[in-house]
Amino acid sequence: MDRSEVKALALAAAKARLLGVQMVFDAQSGHPGGSLSCMDVLTDLYFKEMNVDTKNPKDPNRDRFVMSKGHCSPALYPVLALRGFFPVEDLKMFRSIDGHMSGHVEMKHNPGVDMSTGSLGQGISTAVGMALAGKVANKDYRVYSILGDGELAEGQVWEAMMSAAKYKLDNLCAIVDVNCLQIDGPTAEVMPTEPLDKKFEGFGCHVIKIDGHDFEQIHAAFEEAKNVKGQPTVILAKTVKGKGVSFMENQAGWHGKAPNAEQFAQAKSELEAVIAELEG
């Protein structure tokens, strides 16, 4: 990618971060930390990598995406809105009893969402099913899924990847958001899962390790994944929980907490400064 493409992606991600934090603040409920950490990967997927059509979101030949860590709707919804699947104004309905934009990713009322998720481990399992269906139907679409590293404590994740390897699902690309924190603290203390590369390789996956905030590395990883044959790919994206908001970064306490008015003002100021710099 050239510098202009990287800059455009960074700008879209910064705008999505601001919208995500705004959503959580307005609702006074939600999960900002893990949403901010995966925003760059998600932005690259929807603005660069995936074959999707905002005017035909159910196109049977489209690429699919599953947010396996479904509580990170403040990441997916803003990206979908900025991409053009629905108006940005709809984000105001987030977690509202009168709205249709629930706190966990939901597909019935939100164009562009391919799978409702929330119960950890089930998202990647449905992504495996989508990829297998594509193989059976001789379709060319690819399936992407983002998991949290805390989610990997769910045994269902490993059953899913074992199945993906058995059926040689080279049309499946899973991305693990390795921010090293979950609701109860560091993943290394709650339920150690490292070495992740060796574990996924042992389950028959092609593994790529990247900086999940570097768009050139993200793009290169997706390009590499497209050329892998006969096995699924897992991208281990090292990220910062709460990325982009100084007081949220690397703080487990911001896993599922809304900022107060003073905190939101600071977050908004920091993110608007990034946007202004990129636009300038």
The one-letter amino acid at 206: H
Whether the CB-CB separation of 193 and 153 falls below 8 Å is answered with yes
Regarding pTM above 0.75, the answer is: yes
| pLDDT tens, position by position, 234-263 | 999 999 999 999 999 999 999 999 999 999
* Distance of alpha carbon 26 from alpha carbon 101, whole angstroms: 13
Report the pLDDT value the prediction gives residue 127, as an integer from 0 to 100: 98
* Distance of alpha carbon 109 from alpha carbon 22, whole angstroms: 21
| pLDDT tens, position by position, 174-233 | 999 999 999 999 999 999 999 999 999 999 999 999 999 999 999 999 999 999 999 999
Exposed e or buried b per residue across 70-99, where buried means at least 16 C-beta atoms within 10 angstroms of its C-beta? bbbbbbbbbbbbbbebbeeebbebbbeeee
| pLDDT tens, position by position, 68-121 | 999 999 999 999 999 999 999 999 999 998 888 999 999 999 999 999 999 999
Report the pLDDT value the prediction gives residue 88, as an integer from 0 to 100: 97
Token pair listed for 88: 């940005």
| Residue 61 scores a pLDDT above 90 | yes
Token pair listed for 243: 């990325």
230: left (phi > 0), else alpha (psi -120 to 50), else beta? left
Report the pLDDT value the prediction gives residue 99, as an integer from 0 to 100: 81
Closest listed residue to residue 208, CA positions, set 182, 165, 238? 238
Whether the CB-CB separation of 131 and 97 falls below 8 Å is answered with no
- What CATH number did the domain enclosing 177 receive? 3.40.50.970
Closest listed residue to residue 16, CA positions, set 110, 91, 99, 102? 91
Domain count, the chain: 1
Q: What's the CA dihedral at 146, 149, 150, 153 to 10 degrees?
A: 100
Report the pLDDT value the prediction gives residue 49, as an integer from 0 to 100: 98
- Coil vs helix vs strand at 147: strand
pLDDT band at 280 (very low <50, low <70, confident <90, very high): confident
| pLDDT tens, position by position, 119-155 | 999 999 999 999 999 999 999 999 999 999 999 999 9
Domain residues for 246? 3-279
* Distance of alpha carbon 36 from alpha carbon 87, whole angstroms: 21
